[in-house]
Amino acid sequence: MGSQRNGFKKESFILSVDFGTTSIRCHVYDKEAEIRGSCTTMIVPSYPEVGYVEMDPDALWEGFITVVKGAVQDAGVQMCQINSLGIATQRGTFTTWDRRTGTPFHNFISWQDRRSAELVKSWNTSCTMTAIHGVMKVLYFLTGQKRMLAASLIVFTTQHVTFRLVWVLTHYKQVCQAVAEGNCCFGTIDTWLLFKLTKGQVHATDYSNASSTGFFDSYQMCWSGFLSHLVSVPLSIFPKVENTDHYFGSTDPSFFGVSIPIMSVMADQQAAMFGECCFEVGDVKITMGTGTFMDIHTGSKPHTSSAGLYPLVGWKIGSELVYLAEGSSADTGTAIQWAQDLDLFSDVQQTSDMAYSVSDSDGVCFVPSFSGLQAPLNDPTACASLMGLKPSTTKSHLVRAILESVAFRSKQLYEIMLRETHIPITKIRVDGGVSSNDFVMQLTADLFGRKLARPQRYEMSCLGAAFVAGLGVGFWRSREELKKLQRTDDEFLPQWAPKGGGCSPSRKYISVLQSWERALKRSMNWYKP
């Protein structure tokens, strides 16, 4: 590895892949962090039953190989000029496979999948969880350890791997047999890619991905033996957890003709945080993509939340350990895509102008909960809904209601973040495909009462993984150098000042928000778990 870390040819590049929910994207970056070549392919999920969301492992692998080769070809460079590879992946989507052959036992089960909703609800309301909460509260009182407080507040969700994996072990006999024989590997997409790229030599993940599964103890920095025992999932199937900038091995030369060092593996939201150069406590990153993910840098200690913010490892690079607190809304881009599929508009670029073309939504409220509601309501059984429809309702009213719902959910997450973390916010940077919508950005700035910065590049996960990989091999020398490469396209200032400097909406939005909150409540507990 010495030669890989100690310099590179003059014309060398960093390759980075962002394995998202709806697409796989690969970029080739030069020293100025400019994209020299790129390639994208779409991910087509399957929905075998109501609430089930799956992805074909073979199709994902073929997509990965395709975008890597396509991006390098588009850049007009050779594979031997690629200095290192960084990988950012969607979180919580997993499969299990045969340790000997590498053959998956089943499709990837997406983070959006709700098949475990009944298990989640039964556990959250069980006597066992009530007892655990009580015991942990006592232990917190006696010891003052935040880890005990976190355990006393734990609420399971369908987004975390935990009970989807329990479901797999309950329903797939082949997996149970492999576990009994010591021949089962578990992994999220990053782990599976590493296993494939190294032809079974590496079964690993990084701390950012591990902390996003729900099985990882972010206080102890290890897989949770307590949770593993509680839900009867053996720790033996889990991958080894490494630093974010660890040398994860090299790609087998049979794939790309040369061996490429894999120098970073990151969860997509944490990668976007790094790509936005949110390196200081109080920095906030909002990614508006398939879902909305709001992260705040909380420093070297995890945040303990009572309202649904999740403590995550942002990254572990060398001895530096950074934690984030995250709130999320699962259906942002999903809702906009749904509206396009219904022919409410032909081009997503039209939506901002459509929203501005009417003065309000004509009383229409949209609840973006195709995958349930996350913090602070935390209801996996909530349904998506349109309420307040009238004969006078037009497509523009519907589009405005959908875009407003994106900003309203962001406002809810922002208020929880302010209320719970008590950390002064230093800056807010917004990325992701939906951030290109000026209406959403301006309304969000108005509701926050804060300036929002939107970078020239909307997709930051790729850049974050590239930054970490590049720092690891000396392609870039320091984080100060990375900050100088950062480019801001637009800034959105609040067009009205909220009273008292808080998040109180302007007068015209008080009644709209109240109606929307009523619609939220009516959408809750809709599906039978």
Domain parsing of the chain, residue ranges? 13-276
- 432 touches 18 (CB < 8 A): no
Please state whether the predicted TM-score (pTM) of the whole model is above 0.85: yes
**Highest mean pLDDT: which of 65-74, 126-135, 138-147, 453-462?**
65-74
100: exposed, middle or buried (Cβ count in 10 Å: 0-12, 13-18, 19+): exposed
Q: For residues 224 and 147, what is the distance between their CA atoms, to the nearest angstrom?
A: 12
pLDDT of residue 224 exceeding 60: yes
pLDDT of residue 9 exceeding 50: no
Q: For residues 173 and 169, what is the distance between their CA atoms, to the nearest angstrom?
A: 7
3-state DSSP call for residue 521?
Answer: helix
In the block, residue with structure tokens 């998956």: 104
- 323 touches 300 (CB < 8 A): yes
Q: What is the mean pLDDT of residues 261-265?
A: 98
pLDDT of residue 144 exceeding 70: yes
State residue 503's pLDDT score: 55
Percentage of the chain lying above the pLDDT 70 cut: 95
In 397-451, beta strands by DSSP E: 427-431
CATH class as words, domain 13-276: alpha beta
DSSP result, 230-242: HHT--GGGSPEEE
Structure-model confidence comparison of residues 371 and 254, the more confident one: 254
Q: What is the DSSP letter of 267?
A: E
3-state DSSP call for residue 396?
Answer: helix
pLDDT tens per residue, range 266-323: 999 999 999 999 999 999 999 998 889 999 999 999 988 777 788 999 999 999 999 9
Q: What is the mean pLDDT of residues 421-445?
A: 94
Sequence-ordered alpha helix ranges (H) in 245-332: 253-256, 268-275
Q: What is the mean pLDDT of residues 23-41?
A: 96
**Highest mean pLDDT: which of 67-76, 144-153, 283-292?**
67-76
